[in-house]
Amino acid sequence: MNDQINNNELVNLSKEVRKDILKMVHASKASHVGSAFSTVEVLVVLYKLILKISPKSSTDKDRDRFLLSKGHACTALYAILAELGFYEKKLLDDYSKDGSIFMSHINSEVPGVEFSTGSLGHALPVGVGVALAAKKRKKAYKTYVLMSDGELNEGSNWEAFMMAAHLKLDNLVAIIDANKIQALGFTKDILSLEPIEDKLSSFGWDVIRTDGHNYEQIYSSLTSLTLESNGKPKVLIADTVKGKGVSFMEGELKWHYSSPNDEEYDLAVEELS
Amino acid sequence: MRSAFINSLLKKADENTFLMVGDLGYSVIEQYVGQRPEQFLNAGIAEQNMTGMAAGMAMEGFKVFTYSIANFNTIRCLEQIRNDICYHNLDVTIVSVGGGLTYGSAGYSHHAVQDIALLGSLPNMTLLLPGDPVEVEYCMEYIFNKKGPKYLRIGKNGEPRIHENVRDISNITKIKSTNDNKRALITTSNTLHKAIEVCELLLKDGIAVDLFSVSVIDRNFGKELNRQLSKYQKIFTIEEHIDEFGFGSLVKSRLEGINIQSFGLKKDLCKVVGSQSYLCGEHGLTTNNIKKEIFELVRKNK
């Protein structure tokens, strides 16, 4: 891991991000808190250690591109962008309020957000286009797409998996936040994905599976995936826990939808402090 | 019109142009592919992915065209057009060949008869609805002059050339003028030739009707329509598209206080096979039938 950033800094940032998320969903009652929590460590590693992007370079032509396909986890991205100074943190108070650009599915009107999503299965095809554009223009930037596991029900993703491999887009990195729960239950019961590594590897992608809450592993997996320009697109399957970080939210379907009431909010913040 | 599209694309393409096809375009795209192989992709039979990719390339500054036929690159991937292209106001032109009942005998799956309603209701979308090869050229000039989401609806090949020169065309072009100013017929897309025949037959029976062709529907459409057509007492529209929510409905919603009669396709399904002209007959959308109905309406109101 990058020596300049220690584990504590990542832990603290993750805690702050989770607290920001809680505050947003508690005030607005617009949730998907569980889906946001499962992405936090991945986002923290991406934005602190991997992505070549900063508030100053957010429109730079050579910046890395990050697309959030699971747009309902927007609070996690809004929070991390605020924590990293893309805009003032107090703007998060506008989340989901009438007239605000902070929609409850990710909105590209917000500084630092590349693309708006909300309906699932959209960002990977777009990411294929962005990565293809880089190849055509001989640009070195990489394109990262964060998806959910439930989202892989959508056929458009499989069209994109095939095309990315066909086009040899080794500058494209998909990250699957495998939190195992989708809107009405467990992914394995609704439309089983496993063996997902075999599926993606047979589609021609370089695959690594890792603990999606372990900074070291996320970092080393992403760096090793992107090290080689071998003509194969890259995918990191990040095994995560829905609602990660607050004990009573972990692995519970309820927190796909629910927002914490006052008591739950206080309990959750206490756990994170 | 298909050849006019590709010839025009060949002429105007620069290093930012990118053509994607959904595994269609045999004997259309070859010359382009030969000239600009690096600016072409056969995206396979996967229109959702093609449309998302087009959005991604447009985000990076390419002027992208997605080419297919019938409903394949429109309705099949309508949400990608709506969310990925239109919401982000990206410079992608969706080109579909086979507008209306062009692919009549191919069956219902190939009838592009709801496209104007569906794509026309999307934000930032400009509809380009040429009626002859010269109007295609005009639409291509429009496409290369303006960024943003566009839909180019093309009939097929071999439509008669109506206009002499692309300079004669504007978004709404007056084609026949009778100096009467009482009645006008407005056509769009592939019914241009039919509309001309209707006007000629009516004139033989002593009924003068001015003729307009609409090739571009953009944000100025209502203003321009009123500028050119608000003086008429009675207006007729023709389209090879479902009448309800289609071109005629749009014209009615933009021209207040004028009596407008629209001729289009019925929503009812036709479950038998038939050529374009046979199916138009089933819908009552023939030159003779339209002429007859207009003739009777005019006579009744005299």
| Each residue's pLDDT tens digit, B184-226 | 999 999 999 999 999 999 999 999 999 999 999 999 999 999 9
State the pLDDT at residue A5: 66
* Whether residue B117 sits in one domain with residue B15: yes
pLDDT > 90? residue A94: yes
- CB atoms B59 and A133 under 8 Å: yes
Contacts 24+ apart (CB under 8 A), B252-257: B254/B221, B254/B222, B254/B225, B254/B226, B255/B225, B255/B226, B255/B229, B255/B230
Q: Taking 60 as the threshold, does the pLDDT of residue B104 lie above it?
A: yes
Closest-CA distance, B33 to chain A, in angstroms, reads 15
**pLDDT of B302:** 67
The domain of B224 spans 170-300
The residue among B53, B59, B85, B88 with the most chain A CBs within 10 A of its CB, best to mutate, is: B53
Mean pLDDT score of chain B, rounded to an integer?
96
Task: Give me Rg for the CA atoms of chain B.
Answer: 19
Say if residues B249 and B262 touch (Cβ distance below 8 Å).
yes
Measure in Å the smallest separation between the Cα of A142 and chain B Cα atoms: 13
Which residue, B55, B60, B70, is CA-closest to B20?
Answer: B55
Fold of A7-272: Rossmann fold (3.40.50)
Q: What ipTM does the predicted assembly reach?
A: 0.97
Best mutation target among A62, A107, A126 (most B Cβ atoms within 10 Å) is A126
Q: How far is B269 from chain A (nearest CA, A)?
A: 29
A68 touches chain B (CB under 8 A): no
Angle CA A107–B90–B65, to nearest 5: 145
% of chain A beyond a pLDDT of 70: 98
Closest CA to B283 of B257, B267, B296, B265: B265
Q: How many domains does chain B have?
A: 2
Domain final position from B129, B154, B179: B154
The answer to whether residues B245 and B130 belong to one domain is: no
Taking only the tens place, the pLDDT of each residue in A210-258 is: 999 999 999 999 999 999 899 999 999 999 999 999 999 999 999 988 8
The Cα–Cα gap between A178 and A186 comes to 11
Q: How many CB pairs under 8 A join A and B?
A: 91
Out of A132-146, B30-44, B219-233, B267-281, least confident range: B267-281
Q: Which of B121, B154, B187 lies at the terminal end of a domain, its last residue?
A: B154
Is B141 in the same domain as B182?
A: no
Q: In terms of domains, do B12 and B144 share one?
A: yes
User: What would the pLDDT profile of A46-59 be if each residue is shown by its tens digit?
Assistant: 999 999 999 998 88
**pLDDT per residue as tens digits for the range B130-185:** 999 999 999 999 999 999 999 999 998 888 999 999 999 999 999 989 888 899 99
Query: Nearest chain B Cα to A60, which residue?
Result: B60
Give the residue carrying structure tokens 């990250």.
A175
Return the pLDDT at A4: 55
Q: Which amino acid is at B191?
A: T
Output the domain CATH number for residue B114.
3.40.50.970
Residues B119 and B224 in one domain: no
Q: What's the mean pLDDT in B283-301? A: 95
In the prediction, which pLDDT does A228 show?
82
Q: A132 and B52 in contact by Cβ < 8 A?
A: no
Question: In sequence order, what DSSP letters do the residues of B164-224 get, joined into one string?
Answer: S-GGG--SEEEEE--S--SEEEEEEGGGHHHHHHHHHHHHHTT---EEEEE-EESTTHHHH
pTM above 0.90, yes or no: yes
pLDDT at B270: 81
Same-domain check for residues B247 and B188: yes
End-to-end CA distance of chain A: 25
User: Residue B149 in contact with residue B65, Cβ under 8 Å?
Assistant: no
Strand partners of residue B17: B63
Which of B154, B184, B200 is a domain's end point?
Answer: B154
Nearest residue on chain A to B44, alpha-carbon basis:
A163
Average pLDDT over residues B277-289: 96
**Domain locations along chain A:** 7-272
Name every residue in B having a CB less than 8 A away from some CB of A. 18, 38-39, 41, 43-44, 46, 48-62, 79-80, 83-84, 87-88
Residue A256 vs residues A26, A34, A185, A260, B160: alpha-carbon distances, Å: 14, 5, 10, 11, 59
Query: Does B11 have pLDDT greater than 80?
Result: yes
Q: What are the tens digits of pLDDT across the range B36-47? A: 999 999 999 999
Interface contact flag, A129 B57, Cβ < 8 Å: yes
Q: Which among A139, A159, A161 is the top mutation candidate for probing chain B, defined by the most B β-carbons within 10 Å of its own β-carbon?
A: A159
In a domain, B248, yes or no: yes
User: Based on the domain organization, do B294 and B251 belong to the same domain?
Assistant: yes
Of the candidates B44, B52, B60, the beta carbon closest to that of A133 is on B60
User: What CATH number does the domain containing B222 carry?
Assistant: 3.40.50.920
Give yes or no for A136 touching B (CB within 8 A): yes
Does B146 share its domain with B208?
A: no
B125 — pLDDT class (breaks 50, 70, 90): very high
In a domain, B89, yes or no: yes
